[in-house]
Amino acid sequence: MQLKTILNRVEPFKSFVYGKVEWVEGTGRPTLEVEVHARKNGRAICSGCGHPRPGYDRLPERRFEFVPLWGITVYFVYALRRVDCRSCGVTVERVPWARGKCHLTISYRWFLARWAKRLPWDEVASIFHTTWRNVFESVKHAVFWGIFHRDLDHIEAIGVDEIQWQRGHHYLTLVYQIEEGMKRLLWVAEDRTEQSLRSFFQFLTAEAQQSIRFVCSDMWQPYLNVVAEQLKEAVHVLDRFHIMKKMNEAIDEVRRSEAARLERDGYEPVLKHSRWCLLKRRENLTAQQTVKLTELLKYNLQSVRSHLQREDFQRFWEYTSPGWAVKFLDEWCVRTMRSKIEPMKAIARSLQEHRDLILNWFRAKGKVSAGSVEGLNNKAKVNIRKSYGFRTYNVIELSLYHTLGKLPEPKFTHEFC
Ligand SMILES: [Zn+2]
C-alpha cells in the first residue's frame, strides 16, 4: 500500500490530490515531503469571500507540517495560487488543510491541542519535536474555535468562584455551569472586581441571561452586587462549599496566631503540623491524625474550639426545612458570638448578614448539583498548579478554557489521537 492511499483515507480533499512522496535528507530527523496538486479544472477558492474565482498567478512552494507518522515528520508541499476576485481583488486561495499564514496544517493543530489537554504543553512540544509556541498557538486555535461554536442557551444554574493564581493577591473570577447533566467552565476574567463578573453578563445574549434561574457564589461583596444587578429573577445561593471554605480560612487564621502565641510563651508547639487535623472532617482523618486531634483536644485551645464549632455547623446542611435550618443557624451564631474567637465571630456576623441567601440553599435543593462548584474549583487549581511555567494571564486563561470548558470540536474524517 502506498502512503498516498493512507493519506486519501485519513485526510481526503475534494479539489486536491496527493502527488509524489519523498524523503528529505539532511534535516537531522526523518522527514517526508508529500506533494499536493490542485485537480485539473478545479478553480481556486478566494480566501476573502469563499467563491471560486479565476486564477491570477502562483506563489512559491510552501511547506505545511502535517501529523507525524511513526515518528517521521510529514510536510505537505504546495504552491498556493492567487485569484483575481471581482469583490476582493487579488487574494490568495483558500485550501482545506491550512488557514492563513500558519505553517501547521489544521489536523496537526488539533492533534497538538488534544495532547495539550492531557499533558503539560512543554511535554507535548518535546514529544512531537515541535516548539512550545506551536503548542500554544494550537491550543489558542482550538479554544477560539470552541468558544465561537459553543452553545450558551438554556443555562439554568451557574456558580461564581474566585481562585488565586499567583503568589500574592492575584485572583481570577471563574463562572461555571453547574447542572446535573452539564458541568463546565463558561468564563474566565482577571481579578475579582464587579467588572470581572459583569464581563460575563455582557458577553451573554439577553435570552441566555434570562434562562439562568440559580446562581451560587461566596460572600464576596462585588459578586453579590453584580448578581443582584444582573440576575434579578434568579435564586441566589450562598453555597455549602464556599461557606465551609470561609470557615476553614477562619480556623486556619485562629490556629496560626495561636501557634505563634504558644511558641512565644514557651509552650509545646502542639499546633505545628496540626493544620490538616483541624481542617479535615473527623471521618476523613488518618489514624495518626486522629491521635494528634485527641492530643489537641486535651488543651482547651481556641483552634480546637473553632474546629468543634465548624463540625457542629455541618449539621446545618442536613436540614430539609428552611424553617428549622434558620433556627439552627441563629443559635449557632449566638453561641459563636459568645466564643471570643474573633475570626469565627466574623464568620457568624457575615452568616447573619447574608441569612436569606444562605437559606436559598434549601430552596434550590435538587436544582443545582451540590458538589459541582467544589469539583470544578479543584480541577481549576490542579490546572493552575500544573501550568506553573505560565507567567501571563492569557496563557492561564487559554489553559483553563481548554481543559475545563468542554468546548466543541469540528468533525474529522479521522481521529489522529
Ligand atoms: Zn473574494
- From ligand 1's centre to the CA of 86, what distance in Å? 7
- From ligand 1's centre to the CA of 109, what distance in Å? 26
- From ligand 1's centre to the CA of 156, what distance in Å? 42
- From ligand 1's centre to the CA of 45, what distance in Å? 8
- From ligand 1's centre to the CA of 88, what distance in Å? 4
Give the 3-state secondary structure percentages of the chain, helix then strand then coil, rounded to 5. Answer: 45, 25, 30
Give long-range contacts, CB 8 A cutoff, 24+ apart: 170-175.
172/396, 172/397, 172/400, 173/197, 173/200, 173/223, 174/376, 174/377, 174/380, 174/400, 175/200
- From ligand 1's centre to the CA of 243, what distance in Å? 57
Lowest mean pLDDT among 6-15, 70-79, 177-186, 370-379: 370-379
At 389, the pLDDT band (50, 70, 90 cuts) reads low
Question: pLDDT tens-digit profile of 16-51?
Answer: 999 999 999 888 899 999 999 999 888 999 999 999
Tell which residue, 372, 351, 330, has the closest CA to residue 216: 372
CA-to-CA distance for 77 and 10, rounded, in angstroms?
17
- From ligand 1's centre to the CA of 277, what distance in Å? 68
- From ligand 1's centre to the CA of 162, what distance in Å? 46
Res 52: pLDDT:
95
- From ligand 1's centre to the CA of 370, what distance in Å? 52
- From ligand 1's centre to the CA of 59, what distance in Å? 18
- From ligand 1's centre to the CA of 95, what distance in Å? 14
